[in-house]
Amino acid sequence: MKKILLLLAFIILSINSKAQHYFNISLLGGIPQAAFADNTNDFHMGLGLDLLFKVNPDFPLYLGIGYNYNLMGTKNQIIENDLQVMAGTTVISTIPVRLGVETTNGLSNWIFKTRFVFPTDYVKPFVQISGGLNYLSTRTTVTDETEKRFFTSDQDDNTINTAKAIDDLTYAYGGGAGLLIDAGRGCIELGVDYMWGGNATYFNKDQIKEWTVNWAGTGTFDPNNPDNVDLSNAAATPYNSYTDIIYAHIGYTFKFGEPKKKTPAKKPLPKKH
């Protein structure tokens, strides 16, 4: 953590107020490689954000940070059941309950980047190196889908409970290249990166599709303690491997800060006769 804070401080101190900087939003496509591909066999879609600062207005070197999220699989399930209202041992009423269950596999990464942009007009090639962390997780969320929200008091947030079946954190590093194409006040960005990922434990999308989340309670209605939904149904054996992946992205890069002013060409002096 100290190393990360020191690196952030270095990036902030390197910001030049008289240089032009970049903020990018991109759609991502992730293609697992090597053992990661053997275990997941999937094309991952996601979203990426980058913030890059130009160190020197006279030299096209950028330092910055990025965040990516890729969805590696999801499953949705509806559970319908009746809660029994009891008076002693006598059932005096029933309450219909409808729960939504969503299980998702996600891959997030936080990346520090160093980018060199070739100072050409209109179309600018770039190369970059990256290093940071990969976070893989499988999470199940149960939501209250009943009309009167028996389990949740907040009408805007119907989440009853959330549980992680598994999560793991590992390193990631790599490099890539791309193009910045001038468009309006910013530019269209195209790029490809190869990221070597450390060893991690995870589930794939085929495993979570086989899971079912069961109503496992006694039928007693208690909105303050809705623990009668079994979220821990991860019966599959997780995979373990390195997490190498190729990222391809397309997005839009916003420019901010003060652009470098072009020095006008000097006109030749008239010849004396």
Among candidate residues 157, 138, 141, 163, the one with its CA nearest the CA of residue 79 = 141
**Parallel/antiparallel/unpaired status of strands 90-117 and 186-197:** unpaired
> Which residues form the domain of 228?
2-257
* pLDDT top residue among 243 and 264: 243
Structural domains of the chain, count: 1
What is the percent of the chain where pLDDT is above 90? 48
Question: Which amino acid belongs to residue 236?
Answer: A
Region 9-21: mean pLDDT is 61
Instruction: Indicate which CATH number applies to the domain containing 165.
Output: 2.40.160.20
Residue showing tokens 């953590």: 1
Checking if the pLDDT of 2 tops 90, the result is no
**Neighbouring residues of 126: CB distance < 8 A, sequence distance ≥ 6:** 115, 116, 117, 118, 177, 178, 179, 180, 191
Which SS3 state, helix, strand or coil, does residue 100 take?
strand
| pLDDT at position 93 | 76
Mean pLDDT check: name the lowest of 36-45, 120-129, 231-240: 231-240
pLDDT tens track for 123-136: 999 999 999 999 99
What is the percent of the chain where pLDDT is above 70? 75
In a domain, 273, yes or no: no
- Give the span between the Cα atoms of 218 and 223, in whole angstroms: 14
* pLDDT top residue among 70 and 258: 70
Query: Which band of pLDDT confidence, cut at 50, 70 and 90, is reported for residue 16?
Result: low
In a domain, 267, yes or no: no
Residue 240 C-alpha from the chain's centroid: 21
In a domain, 222, yes or no: yes
DSSP 151: S
| pLDDT at position 88 | 66
Query: Which band of pLDDT confidence, cut at 50, 70 and 90, is reported for residue 8?
Result: low
Among candidate residues 79, 77, 48, the one with its CA nearest the CA of residue 251 = 48
In a domain, 265, yes or no: no
DSSP letter string over 234-263? Answer: --SPPEEEE--EEEEEEEEEEEEEPPPPPP
Mean pLDDT check: name the lowest of 96-100, 146-150, 152-156, 221-225: 221-225
- Give the span between the Cα atoms of 171 and 131, in whole angstroms: 8
In a domain, 97, yes or no: yes
In a domain, 269, yes or no: no
In a domain, 215, yes or no: yes
| pLDDT at position 264 | 59
In a domain, 264, yes or no: no
